[in-house]
Amino acid sequence: MSTRYLHYFFQPNSIAVFGASERQMSMGGMVIKNLLASGFEGQLMAVNLKPYHSVYGVRCYRHLKTLPKRPELAILCTPPHTIPHLVKELGIYGIKAVLVLTGGMSRAQSKSNKIFEEFQNFFNDLLGFELSKKPPRLLKNLIQEVANRYDIRLMGPNCIGVLAAKSRLNASYAHSAIQEGAIAFIGQSGILSMAMLDWANGRDIGFSYFTSLGDSVDVEFSDLIDYLVDDENTKVILLHIETLCHARRFISSVRAAARKKLVVVLKSGRFSASQETPEPVPLGLRHGDCVYRAMLRRAGVLRLESSDELLDTLSVLTRMKPLNGERLAIMSNGMGPNLLAVDALLRQGGELARLSDATLTALVPILPAFWSRQHPIDVNADAQAERYATTLRLMAQDANVDAVLVIYGPSVQSDALIVAEKIIQTSQELPCNVLTCWMGMGKVESARQAFDKAKIPSFVTPEEAIDAFMQMVKHRRNQVSAVQTPPLFLNENVRNRQQAWYWINHALDHQRDWLTTEEAKEVLAAYHIFLKPQIESEQISSLMAQILEWNPPYRLQLLHTALFKPFHSASDVPNQDLSLEILHKGELENAANQLRNELNRHFPQSLFLGYQLQRMQRDESMMRLRVGVTRHIVGGPVIFIDTGLHSLLNILTQEVELLPINLKLARDLIGYNKINQWLELYTLEPDKQIQKLSEILVQLSQIVVDVPIIKTVELILLLSHREGLIEHQVAMALGENAELAIQPYPEELQSETVLSTGETVLLRPIRGEDEPAHLHFLEQLSPRAIRYRFFNHRYKISHSELARLTQIDYAREMAFIAVSQQGNNPVTIGAVRAYTDADNIQAEFAIVISDKYSRCGLGTALICKLIDYCQKRGTLQMIGTVLPDNEAMLKLVKKLGFHVFYDKTEEIMKVSLHLNPANFEWQRTRLWP
């Protein structure tokens, strides 16, 4: 994640367009014309090897060195094979922002390997550095390497360019300009981006910024999102995503943005057949799109399912106030449209408002005498503008209503435009949101245009209106869910990481990338997941001798090498785990022979290792659940749970979660996959079993976090009517270390410190489960301490604010809390936090200490811990602001070496501490004194 030099793309003072000419269909010529048409106020230059005097009136130069000044932005529209050498020249010249519009660099090879060798030798001999020893196969790899060498930010290749409304910039080959608005659009497909632009212009939807990344060899989604998150002209960030490369960077940036702005995502390429370069489907999953759903869900963004939803959703989300609730009131001049809307609302899980008796009574003199006194409201076909407006006003003022949908069907008894103008006037006076649906095309088109001009969402059909409203509801639910406090479930005291690693190393010592049943059992047991007792032997006679005291039924399992590898079974194989239910002891030998035959038939390459026998409960169902951990090529390790049934419904609804997870996420995952319904059907105490299953998911997640070489896990759970979930069978496989898409809780940063009072306190990173304790801590602070921390006399803090303080992204922020063990209760007594910018230049910190623990060394211990953390992660500078009368804090930071100075403009003291040297000028320009 880095925003360095990105302002040159969106706010350049000078631009040079390479490859510009007046030749018909010249891409560079199109860019020049668009820049002129947009009214770009900076200096514009054209570059072309041919001796043109000018291109559309813009002075043209033959070489980079002949330009009158160094441009802040270079736009390349030259043939593909010329781009690497040109990027090198730009780097030598000191240009830091390059926009490559040329395509054909991600699929086309270079003209010959000799060209690569010439480039490589040229760079090695003249520039004194070596490219990768293995020549890149694609031109885009070469320009990426050159750009990195010269610290160039490069957007593209194969992008449409950049459009920025406030900068009057259209540095693209797009067929039309953007209208000014509050949406920043970042796409990947040039054609889809231009179609999106055309659609938006047709609906009077404007943009603050508009661009496509193309092949994005350098600048990617996370960089642009970090740049846009603090842009005051952008209220909505809209992403069209085909592929992603860096899940952790993407999630971190999007999650931070979603806390400040609305982030909407249209993700295409759900299945292998719709992917340009098909991604491998993770073992155990039906498809990979469920991983992207989990990524976007975890980031707190709104995902659209199709391009059909795109503009209607934007129309609603950018033109309406945030929802305070989900209750929708509906009115129309006919009951037919009303019923269509209600059906669509309830089908999608929406809530129809219940009008109060007072509202229904107030409507009686307004509506016809035959009105049914029911909601939705039928104002009748003869309704004029005044009846519409009065009805709308009464409904909107009802305390049980959060939004109103007004529907109009063409009628000879009323004028569509007059009614629309009255609705526009009335809606401006109302506290709640208003959506409109003027059904039809010809006679109502002018009314819809009036709504668009007034920035009121308007739709053609009731179903479209409901779809868009439910996107608002979905976004609201996402935001509420994102700040829910996870239940407390701490398992440090029961984990035994060393025991788990012992058995992992045991498998590695035997040169296996999979664990035996015994090894996998021991790993699970270290985290308090215990498999059902079982006995194993290579001979059936030995098993029979060991079960003299066991009464049937039993489950006989044949052990073979493929069994120990997760997800080994194919869905079309009967008895896929090669096990049989045994009702009588005398059946064991025949069952064993049958299983051996099945092994030879279905797993001919798998080696026979013996038998395993488990006692079954008489009420034990053959119904089973499968908990799995697998890896996605982008999303990394994920966890899932299903019934193992390969039906179409399961394929379309399968959901996963990114690791790590907590109890809340585990319960959500159970609900997403409807597993709670299975537990209600098959167990006596479903709530207890949901809790047990949630804890299993959390513990399994922690195993993979602690032992990152675990590649896949398959845990089979059986369902007993009386006993509930029974851990039946497990398989584990190993691989290379995998990075989690979300940085896990950094438990290794925990430490203890001794205060001057002699008390030992724990210093550790904060986590979401700390919210109740953190609230109690803040509530105990004195007004003076609150003022010093928050710079105002606040006495209440909202749940959403608390969630942001405790549910942090460890990839870009850190908060350490001091915990005092008071009896059996851990009590928060202090907190220090720092938020680091995307370039890791500055970390802005703040600290607050319990009044009872002031002047005992706690503040020093917390700040020193934060300084050590920031210094080790490479942050250049810690900064902070302190009220001038906070003498104790100013004395402390001076003692720790901070530079302190007074800002006259803000009337505040600013403090800074240099942690690491700045290696580049762009870094030094962003540092405080």
What pLDDT is stored for residue 573 in this prediction? 42
Average pLDDT over residues 354-371: 93
The Cβ of residue 537 has, within 10 Å, a number of other Cβ atoms equal to 16
Average pLDDT over residues 732-739: 94
pLDDT at 330 over 70: yes
What is the C-alpha separation between 809 and 801, in angstroms, rounded?
15
**Rg for the chain (alpha carbons), in Å?**
32
What is the C-alpha separation between 92 and 284, in angstroms, rounded?
50
Confidence band, pLDDT 50/70/90 cuts, at residue 17: very high
What is the C-alpha separation between 60 and 46, in angstroms, rounded?
4
What pLDDT is stored for residue 697 in this prediction? 95
Cis omega (within 30 of 0) for bond into 135:
no
* Full DSSP string of 544-580: HHHTTTPPSPEEEEEEEGGGGSTT---TTSTTTT-EE
- For residue 909, which phi and psi values (nearest 5 degrees)? -85, 135
Which position has the higher pLDDT, 592 or 896? 896
HEC string of 579-592? EEEECCHHHHHHHH
Side chain identity, residue 556: L
What pLDDT is stored for residue 645 in this prediction? 52
Average pLDDT over residues 278-306: 88
What is the C-alpha separation between 763 and 746, in angstroms, rounded?
12
Cis omega (within 30 of 0) for bond into 376:
yes
What is the C-alpha separation between 367 and 365, in angstroms, rounded?
6
pLDDT at 41 over 50: yes
Confidence band, pLDDT 50/70/90 cuts, at residue 899: very high
Q: Considering only CA atoms, which of 419, 398, 423 is closest in space to residue 328? A: 398
* Model pLDDT for residues 588-635, shown as the tens digit of each residue: 888 888 888 888 888 888 888 888 888 776 555 557 788 999 999 999
Confidence band, pLDDT 50/70/90 cuts, at residue 681: confident
Residue 320 Cα distances to 390, 755, 921, angstroms: 21, 53, 44
Percent of the chain at pLDDT > 70 equals 92
pLDDT at 97 over 60: yes
What pLDDT is stored for residue 366 in this prediction? 93
Pairing type for strands 813-822 and 207-212 reads: unpaired
User: What's the burial of 453, exposed, middle or buried (CB within 10 Å: 0-12/13-18/19+)?
Assistant: exposed
pLDDT at 572 over 70: no
Confidence band, pLDDT 50/70/90 cuts, at residue 125: low
Q: Which residues of 98-136 are buried (b: 16+ CB within 10 A; e: fewer)?
A: bbbbbbebbeeebeeeebbeebbeebeeeeeeebeeeeb
Cβ neighbours of residue 770 closer than 8 Å, sequence gap 6 or more: 806, 817, 828
Contacts within 8 Å (CB) and 24+ apart, 29-36: 29/55, 29/56, 30/173, 31/75, 31/77, 31/101, 31/161, 31/171, 31/172, 31/173, 32/56, 32/58, 34/161, 34/170, 34/171, 34/172, 34/173, 34/174, 34/177, 35/169, 35/170, 35/171
What is the C-alpha separation between 426 and 428, in angstroms, rounded?
5
Average pLDDT over residues 432-454: 91
Q: Is 38 helix (H, G, I), strand (E, B) or coil?
A: helix
Query: Contact, 355 vs 327, CB < 8 A?
Result: no
What is the C-alpha separation between 285 and 641, in angstroms, rounded?
10
CB-side exposure of 914: number of CA atoms within 13 Å? Answer: 10
- Name residue, tokens 């107030």: 362
To the nearest 10°, the Cα dihedral for 383, 386, 392, 397? -140
* Tokens read off for 522: 């021991």
* Model pLDDT for residues 112-122, shown as the tens digit of each residue: 455 455 555 65
Confidence band, pLDDT 50/70/90 cuts, at residue 110: very low
Average pLDDT over residues 488-515: 82
Cα 410-455-201 angle, rounded to 5 deg: 90
- For residue 275, which phi and psi values (nearest 5 degrees)? -110, 135
Query: Contact, 834 vs 866, CB < 8 A?
Result: yes
What pLDDT is stored for residue 111 in this prediction? 45
Query: Contact, 21 vs 52, CB < 8 A?
Result: yes
pLDDT at 38 over 60: yes
* Tokens read off for 588: 């064991």
What pLDDT is stored for residue 130 in this prediction? 58
* Tokens read off for 153: 């930010």
Greatest distance between any 2 Cα atoms in the chain: 101
Cα 764-767-771 angle, rounded to 5 deg: 115
Which segment of 356-370, 501-515, 672-686 scores lowest on mean pLDDT?
672-686
Which position has the higher pLDDT, 867 or 790? 867
Confidence band, pLDDT 50/70/90 cuts, at residue 794: low
* Model pLDDT for residues 150-161, shown as the tens digit of each residue: 999 999 999 999
What structural domains and CATH numbers belong to the chain? 1-159 (3.40.50.720), 174-318 (3.40.50.261), 321-463 (3.40.50.261), 489-744 (3.30.470.20), 747-925 (3.40.630.30)
Query: Contact, 44 vs 170, CB < 8 A?
Result: no
pTM of the model: 0.87
Average pLDDT over residues 341-366: 95
Average pLDDT over residues 388-399: 95
* Full DSSP string of 866-889: HHHHHHHTT--EEEEEE-TT-HHH
Query: Contact, 123 vs 183, CB < 8 A?
Result: no
Confidence band, pLDDT 50/70/90 cuts, at residue 488: low
Which position has the higher pLDDT, 539 or 751? 751
What pLDDT is stored for residue 460 in this prediction? 92
Edge-to-edge strand list for the sheet holding 579-582: 534-537, 608-615, 554-560, 579-582
Which segment of 227-236, 301-310, 746-755 scores lowest on mean pLDDT?
301-310
Average pLDDT over residues 338-350: 95
Q: Considering only CA atoms, which of 258, 250, 264, 345 is closest in space to residue 307? A: 264
What is the C-alpha separation between 11 and 164, in angstroms, rounded?
8
Percent of the chain at pLDDT > 90 equals 58
pLDDT at 696 over 80: yes
Residue 138 Cα distances to 69, 76, 134, 350, 364, angstroms: 32, 18, 12, 50, 73
Q: Is 895 helix (H, G, I), strand (E, B) or coil?
A: helix
Which position has the higher pLDDT, 898 or 804? 898
Residue 571 Cα distances to 284, 602, 639, 647, angstroms: 11, 12, 20, 10
Which segment of 89-98, 271-280, 809-818 scores lowest on mean pLDDT?
271-280
Q: Which residues of 703-724 are buried (b: 16+ CB within 10 A; e: fewer)?
A: bbbbbbebbbbbbbbbbbeebb
What pLDDT is stored for residue 437 in this prediction? 95
What pLDDT is stored for residue 142 in this prediction? 86
Cβ neighbours of residue 564 closer than 8 Å, sequence gap 6 or more: 514, 515, 516, 517, 520, 731, 732
Q: State the average pLDDT for the chain.
A: 88
